[in-house]
Amino acid sequence: MCRSTLRSAVAGFDVLSRYHRCEVRGVENVPEGPALIVANHNGGLNPVDGLFLVEYYRQRGYDQPIFILAHDILFRIKRVAKLLESVGIIRARKGQARSLLEAGHKVLVFPGGDVESMRPFRDRRRIVLAQRQGFARLALRAGVPIVPVVSAGSHETMIVLTRGHRLARLMQTQKWARISSLPIILAAPWGLLLGPTCALPYLPLPSKITFQVGEPLALHDRPCCEVEAAERAPTIYERVEQTMQTMLDSLYEERLLPIFG
């Protein structure tokens, strides 16, 4: 990670944060030591989910950077991979994430992946972690708390009509890209985007986004062995998913209208 590049990236994303009138609550809940930050995933390929980090770095400075796990498809072009790694975005590999946590760092993960980020617009109020329990095993093995983060409004930056599971199965994208969604979306300036064309950059709708950083969930007073982590992971998964859903419900109770907030 390059601190100067990270500072420049945060300054750039501050523009997007202002565009979305971002409000971030609970930054003080991020602990000083290592932690696994688990967030809901929205907005397709638009990086709106990470906008709360602008406020995190504004309040906390750059001495405790947060590393972000991302889909390995983003790292297939070497120059892109190098740029991502320079700002702390790393390939989502269990061993690397655990090493960072054990070294005292904070790691941000979006367990729902493409399943959640491409969920239909009508499901924007739902947390969809897609039964992916790897984050729970990771936190247990590393012996770190989980910090839940949710955002309301971030899935209103485009309109997902359908997730496109059938098209994804037909094109066997899970085999060659580890992607199970090829959605149909409405996004400016293109209008209707289908399947692979959803990878085109789009102009996000100016939706107001509110983030809530929850209190850390203590899991264990020591790292668990692999067997114990596997046994406890389903319970931890359910606890985290339910906590995040409660947090998101609370934010949406305040929200009067889609996009406008």
Beta bridge pairs of residue 23: 210
Q: Which amino acid is at 84?
A: L
CA separation for the pair 196, 181 (Å, rounded): 10
pTM, rounded to two decimals: 0.93
Domain locations in the chain as residue ranges: 3-158+206-254, 159-203
pLDDT at 176: 67
How confident is the prediction along the chain (261 residues), in pLDDT tens digits per residue? 888 899 999 999 999 999 999 999 999 999 999 999 999 999 888 889 999 999 999 999 999 999 999 987 788 888 888 888 899 999 887 789 999 999 999 999 999 998 999 999 999 999 999 999 999 999 999 999 999 999 999 999 999 999 877 777 777 777 766 777 788 999 989 999 887 788 788 899 999 999 999 999 988 778 999 999 999 999 999 999 999 999 999 999 999 999 998
Beta bridge pairs of residue 160: 185
Helix 134-142 with 94-102: angle, nearest 10 deg: 30
Q: 218: which DSSP letter?
A: -
How many other CB atoms are found less than 10 A from the CB of residue 123? Answer: 13
Confirm if 248 and 25 have CB atoms less than 8 A apart.
Answer: no
CA separation for the pair 35, 71 (Å, rounded): 20
pLDDT at 87: 92
- Copy the structure tokens of residue 92: 């989502």
